[in-house]
Amino acid sequence: MSTAAELAQLPQRPEAPRQTTEFRITRPQIVGPDSPEAPFPILLAGPVQKGFGRGGKELGCPTANLPDESITPISSVAKTGVYYGWAQVLPPKDGKTELCQDDIRVLPMVMSLGWNPFYKNEVLTAEIHIMHEFKSDFYGYDMNALVLGYIRPELDYTTREALIEDIEIDKRVALNSLDRPAYAKYKEDSHFDLSCSVNPS
């Protein structure tokens, strides 16, 4: 159990600005420079944990949560918000898995780093949505991710529908941004296990 002193040192949930219609209609479809700049790329890795269970059920965007200690490489150098990059779910060492070959490729992802102000979370989380239709759950599997760029700040919303709309825009922006050669090449980065990943040409 945490002591009062330890709890006092934990980061507190800040107030997030409200999302506005003007913000949505002026959002760019590609973000970031033509190639990643510091502090990117940021390497993340850890076993996938169960989160709040809201991503898939309520928002149509299932997420894989990384443990607290895995968040340190990005939370120490980056602000809260939505990011894009590549991620890979790794099959167990014993080879027993329901994942197919397509599931263990290096795939595009968007990541929310923050407090989920719409839900008033009290804990900082890193939630990764891999843009792929997985055939089964992969809780407990290791996941590697490379964060390559920043999409937008964390925002608060008055409706769930507005949040869902922004999430869908985030996905499109991530795919457009990753399509550039200097970002696409990171699919082959040594941070990933390419021996079990076959990317289409």
* Distance in Å from the first CA to the final CA of the chain: 51
Query: Of all residues in the chain, what percent are helix, strand and coil, respectively (each to 5)?
Result: 30, 25, 45
Identified catalytic residue from 122, 127, 133, 154: 127
Instruction: Give the whole-angstrom CA distance, residue 28 versus residue 30.
Output: 6
The verdict on whether omega for the bond into residue 62 sits within 30 degrees of 0, i.e. cis, is no
Element (H, E) at 144: strand 142-153
* Residues facing 113 on adjacent strands: 81, 126
Cβ neighbours around 50 below 10 Å, total = 10
Residue 133 falls in the annotated catalytic set: no
- Hey, which residues are catalytic here? 127
